[in-house]
Amino acid sequence: MSKKIILPVILVVIALGIWLFLDNTNSEPTNLKTESNPISFNTPKKSAHYETNTPAHGSVLAAAPINIVIDFNFDLAPPSSISIIKDDVEYGVGDLQIDSDKLAMRRNFNPAAPNGLYKVNYTACWPDRSCHEGHFEFAIDHFLALNYQEINENEVTIKMSELMFKPRDIKIKPGTKVTWVNDEVVEHYVNTDSHPDHTYYPAQNSQALKTGESYTILFTTNGIYPYHCSAHASTMTGNILVSD
Ligand SMILES: [Cu+2]
């Protein structure tokens, strides 16, 4: 190759390199936009006698929760309250309810709530009329439902095997009967969140299930139902998404 040709070739290669570098730099913000933006959660504040809550602080749900439930280790009393706010709009529905054992309080949630970050502010009051405040956050991202297995049957079976719920995350229609069957030697449970209070949707709490034993409930109300096995609470988890 003669020197006359080599110089233009080198210049073209350098120009191409600069163009590729600039193009990569330019395309970065576009890539970020197409991925779902990570949500940053503020530090929660726990009131006196607080134990757990559902949805969990920092959780991202594939649909609106049916209610917000907060658990305590002391008797709740009026005038306790729960408020769920996004963009200055209240998404709590109806009055606060204190459970009959007085250890949990709950408020229904607007099923039409859009994607985004929700802040839960609560006031927990005791029989002596003293009150304490706390707060936590969760988010809704309906796009997560794309990862759910959609099952359009009247009856669905979820196996408990290899320390997992199979399938783990399912989407069903209201009016679907779900049966959990224990397929292995170790005992399992079906427990609604949170752990260990199991208060979010109390109908979804089974006794210990031995090999071959099953538990069945009917889901009638739209929303997300996070659950776990209380014997393997940190790893054996699942979600039922009910949507018509
Ligand atoms: Cu288990």
Rounded to whole angstroms, how far apart are CA atoms 233 and 189?
A: 10
Distances, alpha carbon 150 to alpha carbons 193, 236, 240, 241, in Å: 22, 20, 10, 9
Residue 192 Cα to ligand 1 midpoint, Å, equals: 13
Domains and CATH numbers, the chain: 50-143 (2.60.40.1220), 148-242 (2.60.40.420)
Q: 156 and 138 in contact (C-beta within 8 Å)?
A: no
**Model pLDDT, residue 30:** 35
Q: At residue 39, does pLDDT exceed 90?
A: no
Predicted structure pTM score: 0.83
Query: Residues near 159 by Cβ (< 8 Å), separated by ≥ 6?
Result: 165, 166, 180, 181, 183
Tell me whether the omega of the peptide bond preceding residue 55 falls within 30 degrees of 0, making it cis.
yes
Residue 186 Cα to ligand 1 midpoint, Å, equals: 7
The answer to which of 29-33, 46-50, 127-131 has the lowest mean pLDDT is: 29-33
Mean pLDDT of 111-128: 97
Residue 166 Cα to ligand 1 midpoint, Å, equals: 12
Percent of the chain with pLDDT over 90: 84
The predicted-structure confidence for 146-203, as pLDDT tens digits, reads as follows 999 999 999 999 999 999 999 999 999 999 999 999 999 999 999 999 999 999 999 9
Percent of the chain with pLDDT over 70: 85
Tokens of 28: 């970065």
Query: Residues near 105 by Cβ (< 8 Å), separated by ≥ 6?
Result: 69, 70, 72, 76, 80, 82, 96, 97, 98, 99, 122, 124
| pLDDT tier, 5 (very low <50, low <70, confident <90, very high otherwise) | low
Q: At residue 33, does pLDDT exceed 80?
A: no
Residues with CB under 5 Å of ion ligand 1 are 188, 229, 231-232, 236
Q: 105 and 79 in contact (C-beta within 8 Å)?
A: no
User: Of residues 24 and 86, which shows the higher confidence score?
Assistant: 86
